[in-house]
Amino acid sequence: MPSPTSFDPRFPPLTRAEMDARGWDAVDVVFVSGDAFVDHSSFAAAMLTRALEAEGFRVAVLCQPDWRSAEPWRTFGRPRLFFAVSAGNMDSMINHYTAGRKVRNDDAYSPGGRIGLRPDRATIPYCQRAREAFAGVPVIAGGVEASLRRMAHYDYWSDAVRPSILMDSKADLVGYGMGEETVVEIARRLREGKTVKDCRDLRGVAYALGASESVPAGSDVVEVPSFEAVKGSKDDFLKAAHLLHRETSPFNAKTVVQRHGARAVVVTPPRLPLAPERMDFYYGLPFTRRAHPAYGSDKIPAWEMIKDSVTIMRGCFGGCTFCSITAHQGRTIQSRTKKSVLAELNAMAADPEFKGVVSDLGGPTANMYRMRCTKPEVEKICKRLSCVSPVVCKFLGTDHGPLVDLMKESRAVPGIKKVFVASGIRMDLARLSPEYMDELTRHHVGGRLKVAPEHVNKNVLALMKKPTHDTFEDFAEKFKRANEKAGKKQFLVPYFIASHPGSGLKEMIELAVFLKRHGYKPDQVQDFIPAPHDLATAMYYTGRDPETGREVPIARGLRDRRLQRALLQFFKPENYFEVREALLKAGRQDLIGGGCDALIPANPPREALAARRERADKDFHEHVHMKDAPKAPKAGYRPGRAGWGRREGKR
């Protein structure tokens, strides 16, 4: 818990002492978060807390509470309206574990990067402890974790299909997607004396019906295969995934129903996109742009990375099958006005701690600012999952003019020395605008520009809903020419994914040869992680494409995934033996030796032998310690279950 002496009236209270210092006898909403509190618009807890405060609600924030007891949930007394629960800015399982299911060494959203400050599947125990602390107080879950798990879903870490998070958490309601309008409207209705059931008509919510309640039906409702069906049949899982993703456009989505035994989960259509004025309102709230003073000298890595960034838009119409941005933020681009962005830049420049460098001017994608469908009548009925795959839609407005104007004016703000663009560039759009390419290259790249071609194989790229490889080649050439024109020497930093559905050893070797020929040596490698709800996750689980039903090669075993990762970094001596194994397995001995395309030499370098010995020693010691270590008891989170009281007493 934060220090009780950390009261700062600019922040919402994080402790009882801070609440008392405000003279409050109670709060309306207790916001429970798996993250440390950072008062910046990029952090959901800050954005939602500020939105509620702007409507006159008293909000306290319970950050990273000890979930092994309900006592922290009683810190602020009984909330008048509800508990708002979020696992944090990330799904807690992705936050905790690597693609190899190993515990991560740090947590970017915790003080000092410390691990272990939130539980696995944090939404579930957080909701259950809220119920235990104060019976009868509504519990509203939200955030990325709850959004992506609102229906039955495949869980990579347990390798099983799990029910809707509503069933496990017993939350009264899940607000999915970006939640400012949803959480404020729920608070308004409850303040007026209405019940949680009176909030079921809101857009962007999911709820579980009681066994005796009628299941919605009609032309505006689509029922997907039940939890029991998708758990027992991969055909039904595939069908459900396909239907769910067809009902994601806020302009034509239907209410979705999925039965769970005698009950049913109901998901209302997504909220309509925020108008620019509402975006301006929310991003113009009085954020201090700082971490709560309670954390003292403990830095919060995620805040350190984005504290000098400015968000200009949200959403993404790319529809990449491995990405959760579209599922959470929506496909429609929602942009702030230029006036709002410049006002934030002026406020930053006036801050004595600001060094004059804006680390990023962007959002989920750097160059989708103010892009929308040019045909509202088409947008109203379109169910296309991507506006840019397999080709850029002819109705998509791709004008970079407003963004170029914003970039130019951002540099002119007094006190701003440099404005970088660190968000990923959508290459298929950027290459359509020579003016944007020149502006970006001349003024907004700090020597290296991040792009995400992800792969080179056409079949894998199609499964990803990414543009074909020649798009990357064309963009790279135009970036090179723009640099020559500007008299600069800057480089592309391409990001690639290993082990994505459709990518076997043959496809990864194709990518490795491309990297060798072009001199790319990626420092960072992305391992595909099957996140809940994503279409690529449906491919991983079923081995088939949800749209076509065709079989898709899958790298399931950790050894197979390790070989693919090694191929992406074939140039590292410590990967020598894995790369050799992969090449021999694929029958590509021609890439071993001294040929121009050879990935590794015929004989292992000394560093490779040393790395193998070190790894063997480490594995041996870990095996010995794990063998002797006592097994940890399995502790449930549900109050009232058999043995729960005895475990509580022992604590």
Residue 553 burial class via C-beta count within 10 angstroms: exposed 0-12, middle 13-18, buried 19 and up:
middle
Ranking 402-411, 503-512, 534-543, 599-608 by mean pLDDT, the lowest is 599-608
CA dihedral defined by 252, 274, 379, 251, rounded to 10 degrees? 10
**pLDDT at position 624:** 53
Block residue for tokens 């050799």:
580
Structural domain ending residue among the three candidates 151, 184, 207: 207
Measure the CA–CA gap between 525 and 538, rounded to whole angstroms: 22
In a domain, 254, yes or no: no
pLDDT in tens, 476-490: 999 999 999 999 999
Per DSSP, helices labelled H in 351-468 are 376-379, 401-411, 427-430, 434-443, 458-464
Q: Is residue 73 one of the residues assigned to a domain?
A: yes
Last residue of a domain, one of 444, 459, 488: 444
495 falls within a domain: no
Q: How far apart are CA 365 and CA 276, in angstroms?
A: 18
Burial class, 96, CB count within 10 angstroms (exposed 0-12 / middle 13-18 / buried 19+): buried
Predicted pLDDT at 619: 63
Distance CA 175, CA 178 (A): 8
Confidence band (pLDDT; 50, 70, 90) for 462? very high
CATH number at residue 427: 3.30.750.210
Q: 506 pLDDT exceeds 90?
A: yes
Residue 41 within any structural domain of the chain: yes
With 80 as the cut, is the pLDDT of residue 7 above it?
no
Instruction: Report the percentage of the chain scoring pLDDT > 70.
Output: 94
Token pair, residue 599, equals 């990935």
Percent over 90 (pLDDT), the chain: 89
202 shares its domain with 312: no
CATH assignment at residue 193: 3.40.50.280
Q: Same domain, yes or no, for 57 and 203?
A: yes
Q: Which stretches of 302-446 are assigned E, i.e. beta strand?
A: 309-311, 313-314, 334-335, 357-358, 360-362, 418-419
In a domain, 170, yes or no: yes
**pLDDT tens for each residue of 339-386:** 999 999 999 999 999 999 999 999 999 999 999 999 999 999 999 999
Q: What is the pLDDT of residues 200-243, one digit of tens each?
A: 999 999 999 999 999 999 999 999 999 999 999 999 999 999 99
pLDDT digits (tens, 9 = 90+) for 148-162: 999 999 999 999 999
| The one-letter amino acid at 480 | K
Cα dihedral sign, 552-556-557-562: positive
Q: How many domains does the chain have?
A: 2
Domain boundary residue, one of 156, 180, 207: 207
Q: What is the DSSP letter of 600?
A: B
Angle between helices 469-486 and 434-443 (to 10 degrees): 60
Diameter over CA atoms, the chain:
77
Q: What is the pTM of this model?
A: 0.92
What is the structure's pLDDT at 6? 59
Token pair 């970079």 in the structure block, residue? 400
pLDDT of residue 615: 76
- Per DSSP bridges, beta strands 290-291 and 221-224 are unpaired
Q: What are the start-end ranges of the E strands in 349-490?
A: 357-358, 360-362, 418-419, 448-454
In terms of domains, do 80 and 201 share one?
Answer: yes
Q: Is the pLDDT of residue 57 over 90?
A: yes
- Express each pLDDT in 101-158 by its tens digit: 999 999 999 999 999 999 999 999 999 999 999 999 999 999 999 999 999 999 999 9
- The Cα-based distances of 159 to 82, 118, 173, 599 in angstroms read 34, 21, 26, 34
- Domain, as residue range, for 332: 308-444
Contact 173, 195 (CB under 8 A): no
pLDDT for residue 623: 53
- Asked if residue 288 belongs to a domain, the reply is no
Q: What pLDDT score does 621 carry?
A: 59
The reply to whether 98 falls in a domain is yes
Q: Using CB atoms within 10 Å of the CB of residue 246, give its burial: 0 to 12 exposed, 13 to 18 middle, 19+ buried.
A: middle
Do 171 and 314 have their domain in common?
no
Based on the fold, state whether residues 191 and 43 are members of the same structural domain. yes
Cβ pair 311, 363 in contact under 8 A: yes
Structure tokens at 325: 């941005």
Alpha carbon distance 45, 554 (integer Å): 37
CB atoms within 10 A of CB 384: 17
Residue 243 buriedness (CB in 10 A; 0-12 / 13-18 / 19+): middle
Dihedral, 16, 21, 22, 27 alpha carbons, nearest 10: 10
3-state secondary structure of 323: coil
**Which letter, b or e, does each residue of 48-60 get, where b requires 16 or more Cβ atoms within 10 Å of its Cβ?**
bbbbbbeeebbbb
**Side-chain half-sphere of 305: how many Cα atoms within 13 Å?**
10
Q: Are residues 155 and 46 in the same domain?
A: yes
Kindly report the three-state secondary structure assignment for every residue of 116-156. CCCCCCCHHHHHHHHHHHCCCCCEEEEHHHHHHCCCCEEEC
Distance CA 47, CA 128 (A): 24
DSSP-assigned beta bridge partners for residue 600: 592
Structure tokens at 167: 């069933």
Same-domain status, 178 and 319: no
List the one residue out of 568, 562, 564, 570 whose CA is nearest residue 598.
570
23 and 168: one domain? yes
| Structural domain contains residue 9 | no
The mean-pLDDT minimum among 37-51, 266-280, 621-635 falls in: 621-635
pLDDT recorded at residue 629: 46
- Strand ranges (E), 24-120: 29-33, 38-39, 59-63, 82-86
- Residues 269/250, Cβ–Cβ less than 8 Å: yes
CA distances from 456 to 318, 348, 494, 642 (A): 18, 41, 11, 54
Per-residue pLDDT at 576:
95
